[in-house]
Amino acid sequence: MKACSRLLVGLGNPGPEYEGTRHNIGFEVLDLIALREGLIFQSANQLEGFDGVARARCARIFDPDAVLVKPMTFMNRSGEAVAPLAQWSGASPEDVLAVYDDLDLPLGALRLRSGGGAGGHNGVRSLIEQLGTDRFPRLRVGIGRPATDAVRHVLGEFSSDERPDVDISVAEAADAAFEWLRVGDLEKLMTRFHSRWTQGESSPDDSRRK
């Protein structure tokens, strides 16, 4: 019997010095869902029935049946926190959705995909290594290409001009992620949300994803 049906994993780095940075947008999406649903993040060892070791903050939700996971291992070791929880949950790789930042998408752009390579993202690479597969769904949140240094870019905070548009994208990502928790049908979600997001990109009144 499964301990839970699905895992929603937001990638980021622990600690106040990383709050608000581009690399932590996965955390922001999960934090918003938790706020909306009245959930509290606790240590993974407080999950009922979990007796493994996972450096993660987790929030249990029963309707829909899932656990929200924020790895506390730092980005490049995210999989070490997620793999024990995936094993405990009994969820298949298709029932583990990772939410994370993407340099290759314009600021605020959102894309769902069913699997694939790491695309240069160290957190995703760690998930692939520790889960033993790349066949888990992802929700990518665009943070835009840096003019120079990529590391400095992802670890930097959004500017005050960027922040309002980022907040809108985080809210839309939270909508999509929660709907995935409810229905689990990624193809249907891709059809519904990609159409919605593409309309946003082409709208003359909405320049935030151009």
pLDDT tens for residues 9-66? Answer: 999 999 999 999 999 999 999 999 999 999 999 999 999 999 999 999 999 999 999 9
The 3-class secondary structure across 128-180, one letter per residue, is: HHHHCCCCCCEEEEECCCCCCCHHHHHCCECCCCCHHHHHHHHHHHHHHHHHH
pTM across the whole model: 0.92
Choose, from 23, 121, 153, 194, the residue flagged as catalytic.
Answer: 23
* Confidence band, pLDDT 50/70/90 cuts, at residue 126: very high
Say which DSSP state 10 is in.
E
CA distance 106 to 62: 34
Catalytic-residue membership of 194: no
CATH superfamily for 6-202 is Peptidyl-tRNA hydrolase (3.40.50.1470)
Q: What percent of the chain has pLDDT over 70?
A: 94
For the chain, give every domain's residue range.
Answer: 6-202
Closest CA to 193 of 173, 208, 170, 209: 173
